[in-house]
């Protein structure tokens, strides 16, 4: 293999070729050119672009978050997907959150916030309005127990690897050099500032560093000598928590021959999040699967009648071994229990899927995510010339974080969009609000 020839010096070094790193690099280069400067930006990626969570993401782009700070960041991010829908493989089919009474208030608050920032959506509240709304979309829907429905018009889903490639293409066109197979292993300091980045292929001097290491946040934290434990809450209620905790997102590709998700008159189905509090029974053998709040999410697949979807994730804890990362690692994919759960949830939601039992062609997959203690990302300075974006397991859709971070680096001004995502929220009593959703990231 030819050895990699790195530059001796680069003004800005971005670590990580996932969506956050690539979006930041693209926008850094664009802003530099706009200011009349050279777009002297490089990306260092230890494997290949999209090798982390970005490349295996389910690609759902939605704005269904209880945290008010998310609504505007995602609205801006959807704008980036809309700016080149074809390039990102963005399917703007809409997004539907379907919830029981316990989550009705959450959904109403989310709808209110979406109205406030001009993110177009429609809310149905109460059993009869929800029934009418859902039956208009799918005559065979089971709307029993559904108490609120939120329909986001600008949301949908995007092709994960297509999005990664499109970001890389845009970054390169803006002047960024991307080096794959180069691992950052250390930092050289001059006083408190990073003067150079040490890599598996040599040392590069730099003016500033932006790291978006995804699941490898603990290693990045260690490299900077930072504490991997943060404080949650204040005073007597304060508790310590690891900054990074791993979860297994359980997803899969499913086909029931001849039966798809299309709605009334063959309409394309929106992406759906279906949460419930009624017991869920197996569509295979009638056994009780859960009597706790549960949820599934689903969308049409890339081709034909396929369905892509998932169920509740599994907590793997802070010590889970991430490498080797990806679907070839049997510890990092969902099993048949997900298939039974997911297809039973679908059969609960849409009558057309009932009694299909083992007729499903099931391919459970998914992948490991890294979450922060309040399940929202961190975007902050972690040194005088070092900026870190820490993922929180649902960042595929958050392309505007990289853009805002790039602007902060260049202007050293604070982006109001990113203010709620600072590290100081831990221990400062300003962590994000927790929803009543059974999911850790809503």
Q: Give the interface with ligand FAD as residue ranges (CB under 6 A).
A: 15-21, 44-47, 51-54, 56-60, 183-184, 212-216, 249, 251, 366-367, 369, 391, 393-397
CB of 423 to ligand FAD, least distance (A): 16
Q: Of the two residues 91 and 397, which places its CB atom closer to ligand FAD in the complex?
A: 397
With b meaning 16 or more CB within 10 Å and e meaning fewer, what string describes 321-358?
Answer: ebeebbeeeeebbbeeebbbbbbbbbbbbbebbeebee
Q: Are 418 and 401 in contact (CB under 8 A)?
A: yes
Q: Are 345 and 274 in contact (CB under 8 A)?
A: yes
CB of 111 to ligand FAD, least distance (A): 20
Question: Coil, strand, or helix at residue 329?
Answer: coil
Q: Of the two residues 111 and 212, which places its CB atom closer to ligand FAD in the complex?
A: 212
CB of 53 to ligand FAD, least distance (A): 4
CB of 390 to ligand FAD, least distance (A): 8
CB of 35 to ligand FAD, least distance (A): 25
Q: Is the peptide bond before 173 cis (omega within 30 degrees of 0)?
A: no
Q: Are 224 and 382 in contact (CB under 8 A)?
A: yes
Cross-strand bridge partners of residue 103: none
Q: Of the two residues 58 and 94, which places its CB atom closer to ligand FAD in the complex?
A: 58
Measured CA to CA, the distance from residue 228 to residue 245 in angstroms comes to 11
Q: How far, in Å, are 136, 272, 296, 351 from residue 142 at the CA level?
A: 12, 14, 14, 7
Q: Of the two residues 43 and 130, which places its CB atom closer to ligand FAD in the complex?
A: 43
Measured CA to CA, the distance from residue 421 to residue 408 in angstroms comes to 13
Neighbour count for residue 6 (Cβ, 10 Å): 19
Measured CA to CA, the distance from residue 307 to residue 289 in angstroms comes to 21
Half-sphere exposure for 390 (CA within 13 Å, toward CB) = 27
Q: Of the two residues 60 and 400, which places its CB atom closer to ligand FAD in the complex?
A: 60
Q: Provide the H-helix boundaries in 217-327.
A: 217-223
Measured CA to CA, the distance from residue 118 to residue 330 in angstroms comes to 43
CB of 432 to ligand FAD, least distance (A): 15
CB of 15 to ligand FAD, least distance (A): 5
Measured CA to CA, the distance from residue 128 to residue 149 in angstroms comes to 11
CB of 440 to ligand FAD, least distance (A): 12
**DSSP output for 394-425:** --TT-HHHHHHHHHHHHH----TTTGGG-GGG
Task: Please give the DSSP secondary-structure letter assigned to residue 63.
Answer: -
CB of 71 to ligand FAD, least distance (A): 14
Q: Of the two residues 57 and 67, which places its CB atom closer to ligand FAD in the complex?
A: 57
Q: Of the two residues 224 and 385, which places its CB atom closer to ligand FAD in the complex?
A: 224
What is the enclosing helix (H) or strand (E) of 110?
helix 104-117
CA angle 265, 148, 138 (to 5 degrees): 15
CB of 107 to ligand FAD, least distance (A): 19
Q: Of the two residues 59 and 438, which places its CB atom closer to ligand FAD in the complex?
A: 59
Q: Of the two residues 120 and 183, which places its CB atom closer to ligand FAD in the complex?
A: 183
Q: Of the two residues 22 and 174, which places its CB atom closer to ligand FAD in the complex?
A: 22
Measured CA to CA, the distance from residue 62 to residue 74 in angstroms comes to 8
């Amino acid at each position: 293999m030819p050895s990699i020839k790195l530059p001796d010096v680069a003004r800005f070094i971005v670590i990580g070729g996932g969506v956050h790193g690539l979006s930041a690099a693209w926008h850094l280069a664009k802003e530099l050119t706009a200011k009349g400067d050279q777009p002297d930006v490089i990306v260092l990626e230890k494997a290949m672009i999209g090798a982390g969570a970005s490349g295996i993401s389910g690609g759902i782009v939605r704005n269904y978050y209880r945290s008010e700070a998310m609504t505007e960041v995602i609205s801006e991010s959807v704008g980036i997907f809309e700016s080149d829908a074809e390039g990102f493989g963005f399917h703007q089919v809409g997004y539907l959150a379907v919830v029981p009474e316990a989550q009705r208030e959450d959904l109403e608050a989310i709808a209110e916030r979406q109205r406030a920032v001009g993110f177009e959506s429609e809310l149905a509240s109460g059993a009869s309005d929800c029934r009418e709304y859902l039956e208009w979309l799918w005559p065979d829907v089971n709307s029993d127990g559904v108490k609120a429905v939120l329909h986001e018009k600008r949301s949908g889903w995007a092709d994960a690897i297509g999005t990664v490639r499109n970001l890389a293409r845009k970054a390169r066109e803006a002047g960024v050099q991307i080096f794959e197979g180069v691992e950052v292993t250390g930092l050289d300091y001059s006083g408190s500032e990073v003067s150079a980045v040490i890599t598996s292929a040599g040392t590069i001097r730099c003016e500033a560093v932006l790291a978006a290491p995804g699941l490898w946040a603990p290693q990045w934290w260690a490299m900077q000598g930072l504490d991997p434990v943060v404080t949650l809450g204040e005073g007597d209620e304060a508790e310590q928590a690891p900054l990074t905790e791993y979860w297994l997102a359980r997803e899969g590709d499913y086909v029931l021959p001849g039966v798809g998700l299309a709605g009334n008159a063959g309409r394309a189905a929106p992406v759906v999040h279906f949460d419930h509090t009624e017991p869920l029974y197996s569509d295979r053998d009638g056994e009780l699967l859960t009597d706790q709040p549960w949820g599934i999410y689903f969308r049409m697949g890339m081709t034909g009648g396929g369905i892509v979807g998932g169920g509740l994730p599994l907590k793997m804890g802070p010590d889970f071994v991430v490498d080797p990362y990806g679907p070839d690692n049997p510890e990092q994919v969902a099993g048949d229990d997900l298939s039974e759960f997911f297809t039973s949830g679908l059969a609960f939601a849409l009558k057309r899927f009932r009694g299909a039992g083992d007729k499903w062609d099931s391919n459970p997959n998914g992948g490991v995510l890294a979450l922060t203690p309040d399940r929202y990302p961190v975007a902050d300075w972690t040194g005088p010339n070092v900026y870190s974006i820490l993922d929180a397991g649902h960042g595929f859709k958050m392309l505007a974080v990289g853009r805002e971070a790039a602007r902060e680096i260049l202007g050293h001004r604070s982006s109001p969009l990113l203010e709620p995502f600072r590290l100081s929220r831990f221990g400062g009593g300003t962590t994000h609000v927790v929803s009543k959703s059974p999911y850790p990231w809503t």
